[in-house]
Structure 1
Amino acid sequence: MLVISDRSDDDPVGLRTSPVPRLHLPSPLFSAEEYQRAPLVLLDDRSYTDFTLRHLPHRPGLVIVLAAPDDGTVYPRAAAIGAEAVIRADGNLNWLHLRLHDATGCHYAHWEALLTAGPADPSPPASS
């Protein structure tokens, strides 16, 4: 997985303990080949402008990670670059972890942790 972020901290998009191997590069430093070959690309929303200056082609598996939860401008920007999803960095990351595992052939899945985050059984049907 390729993480595109101009931030220098260890976890710029909030993946925390995801076991999926990742390459973290700032916008100007990743190659077009790295971008195309990565099974999934996470773009830090704060690096969007520098990313668009690269004029890269649309690709499946591009996800924007939103740092500011109230930024409504992210959705048109995501559509403009062909992003498949927009997620919040501080939100529930179960969907992202499942998507990462799907993109990497499920080699890094910790199913127990991913599947036990909610109730084990569906709610009973409402009686009439």
Structure 2
Amino acid sequence: MWWIYALLSALFAALTAIFAKVGIKGVDTDLATAIRTVVILLIAWAIVLYKGAGAGMNGLTKQNWIFLCLSGCATGLSWIFYFKALQAGKVSQVAPVDKLSVAIAIALSVIFLGEPLTLKSASGAALIIAGTLVLIF
């Protein structure tokens, strides 16, 4: 089931790039990011309330809070720079560079999480990097 969610994530990420490129014409990218964030905030809380998952907040540890907040900061910065890149460049170039995050995540997971670097994951990361270079040059 995870792969269906991952494919849906990829589909919506692709739509994000297209919608954002059209939506940021003549708009300050920081303002656009703020508007996008409010929409996401409303959707996320609507889902939490619908599912009744809000009660889980009581069980969050200090570590959960710290790393969820750090993840939120990283997400926000990613969006800010993504919109700036989309405003200045072509979607067909910006999106592949953004997807270098996959290769970077593999490297960081090995360094910080101790996940094994297999031949398969190293090859996949190398192909992502090579593909990105082909698409941007």
Query: Under a length normalisation based on structure 2, what TM-score does the superposition of the two structures give?
Result: 0.28
Give the structure with the larger helix fraction: 2
Query: Under a length normalisation based on structure 1, what TM-score does the superposition of the two structures give?
Result: 0.29
Give the structure with the larger strand fraction: 1
Larger relative contact order (Cα-Cα within 8 Å, sequence gap ≥ 6): 2
Max radius of gyration: which structure? 2
